[in-house]
Structure 1
Amino acid sequence: MKESSKSSGEAAYGALLDAIHSGEFRPGDRLREESVAERLRLSRTPVREALRRLEAEGVVEHRPRVGAVIRKLSQREIVELYEMRVVLERTAAAMAAKHGAEAEFDALSDLNEAIRAERTHPARAAEINQRFHLGLYHAGRNRFLMDAARALNNSLILLGPTTFTDQARIDQVTAQHTDIVAALRARDSDAASAAAETHLQTSLRHRLRAWDA
C-alpha cells in the first residue's frame, strides 16, 4: 500500500472516530459508505478502509441487508465496561497519588474548572472531562496501564451521547473530581482510589438511566 493511501485511510479513520466521539454519528446509526464519504468530505476508498478497521475493533458491525452500523451496547455490556473502568481508574488514581507531580494535579484542577465553565455546553464539557481522565492516567506513570486504557477507549465511544445534559449533573461531576484531586494532593492512594470508584459508579447510574429512557 502506498504511503498516500495509508495516510488517507488514517485520516478517514480519525475523522470517523472524531465524528462518533462528538455525537455526529451515534450508536445504532447506519454508516453508508457513500454518505459518510460525502459528509466527511473524503473519497470512498479510505472510508471503506476505515469502516473495515472499526469493524475489526468492534466499533462497527455488519448487519445483513443493512450494512455497516455503529454498535450499540446492551445494558449488560455497559455494566461490564464500567466494571473495567473502575478497575483501571482505581489503579490510575492510586498510582497518581504516589507518582504524580504537583503540576499535574494543578492541570487536573484547571481542567475541572474548565468543565464547570462549560456548564451550558454539554459537548464541550464532556470533551474536557475526557482530558481530565486521560490526565489522571498520565499522572499514574505506568505505560501498561495507559495501554489498557487505550484498549478500552473505543468501547467508551459506544456509550452514546454525554450525560452532561443539565447543570446539576456537571456540578456533581466537578465536585467528585475535586475529591479525587484533593486525595492526590494529600498523597492518599486509598482515598484517591475510593474517590475514583465513587465517581465512576455515579457515572454508571446516569448511563443506565439514559439507556432505559
Structure 2
Amino acid sequence: MKNPPTARAKKSNSTEALENDLPGGERAYRYIRQALANQQLMPGDRLREVELAKMIGLSRTPIREALARLESEGLVVHDATLGIMVAELDYSMVTELYFMREVLEGTAARLAAQHASSVEISLLEDMCEQYANSVGDDAQLASSNRQFHEMLYNCSHNRYLIKILKTLHDTLTLLGNTTLTDPKRVKDTIKEHEAVVASIRKHDPEAAEKALRAHIYASQKMRIRRLISNQ
C-alpha cells in the first residue's frame, strides 16, 4: 500500500477544517476514496483497520464503517484469508462495466442533446479544447477527460442517472492506468469527444447517443487489449 497521507498533506487548511467537521465514518470514507482515485491504493492492496486509523487519525470504528460502505459499492472486498482488500476487476467484470458505461453514458448524451443549455454546451466545447491542449501530459489528460464526462452527466439533467454514473465512474479507478497513455487513443478521443458535442449542439439525441456509444466501445477495445496482453 502506498502512502495516502501525501495527498492529504496537499490540502488547504480550510479544506482540512471542513473535513474535520464531518462524522468520522464520512471522513474515513472520503479519505480512502481519494486514495483510490489518486492510485495511492491499488487493486489487491490490503486495507488494515489499524493502519488506516493511524493514517487518518480516527478510531477503528469509523474506519470499519467506511470499509463496509466501500464494500457495498464494490470498491473493496473481504477475503477470508487476507481480510479487506481493494477490489480487482477480472475480464468479465471489465466487460460488464463497459457495457453499462455504453448504455448509461449513451443515455446521458441523448438527454444532453435534449436538455443541455447553450452555456453547458459551450462548456463542453471548452473542455474538448482543454483536452486537446493537454496532449503530452498524461495526468492532465486524465483529469480533462474526467471533467468532460462529468460535465456530460450533468448536462443530462437527470439526478438519478448522474448518481449512478458517478458511482460507475468511481469503479473505473480499479482499472489502474488510463487508456489515454496511448498516443493514437488520445487523438481518436479528441475526435470522438468533438463528435459527441457537435451532436449535442445540433440537439440530435440519436446522433449524440450513437457518438458516445462509439467512444465507449473504442475505449473498451483498448482496455481489453491491454488486459489480455498483461495476462
Deviation at 1:179, TM superposition (A): 0.7
1:29 aligns to 2:50 (yes or no):
no
Q: Which residues of structure 1 form unaligned runs of 5+? A: none
What's the counterpart of residue 81 of structure 2? 65
2:58 to 43, 46, 55: 43
Q: Which moved more, 1:44-53 or 1:187-196?
A: 44-53
- Aligned to 1:164, the other structure's residue is in SS state helix
- Aligned to 2:168, the other structure's residue is in SS state helix
- Aligned to 2:44, the other structure's residue is in SS state coil
Structure 1 distance, partners of 2:116, 2:177, is: 31
What's the counterpart of residue 129 of structure 1? 145
> What TM-score do you get using the length of structure 1 for normalisation?
0.88
1:165 aligns to 2:181 (yes or no):
yes
Q: Which amino acid aligns with 1:109?
A: E
Alignment root-mean-square deviation, CA: 2.0
Deviation at 1:6, TM superposition (A): 5.7
Q: Which amino acid aligns with 2:111?
A: M
CA contact (8 A) 1:12 1:42 kept: no
Structure 1 distance, partners of 2:132, 2:63, is: 36
Which runs of 4 or more aligned residues in structure 1 lie more than 3 Å from their structure 2 counterparts after TM superposition? 34-38
Q: Summarize the Cα distance change of 1:148–1:30 in structure 2 as closer, same or farther, 3 Å threshold.
A: same
CA contact (8 A) 2:37 2:170 kept: no
- Aligned to 1:111, the other structure's residue is in SS state helix
What's the counterpart of residue 144 of structure 1? 160
Deviation at 1:8, TM superposition (A): 2.2
> What TM-score do you get using the length of structure 2 for normalisation?
0.82
CA contact (8 A) 1:119 1:166 kept: no
The within-5 A match list for 1:1-213 is 7-38=23-54, 40-45=55-60, 46-212=62-228, 213=230
CA contact (8 A) 1:176 1:195 kept: yes
Q: Which residues of structure 2 form unaligned runs of 5+? A: 1-19
Per-residue Cα deviation, 1:175-201 (whole angstroms, up to 9, x for no partner): 210111111111111111110000000
Q: Which amino acid aligns with 1:51?
A: L
In percent, how many aligned pairs have the same letter?
37
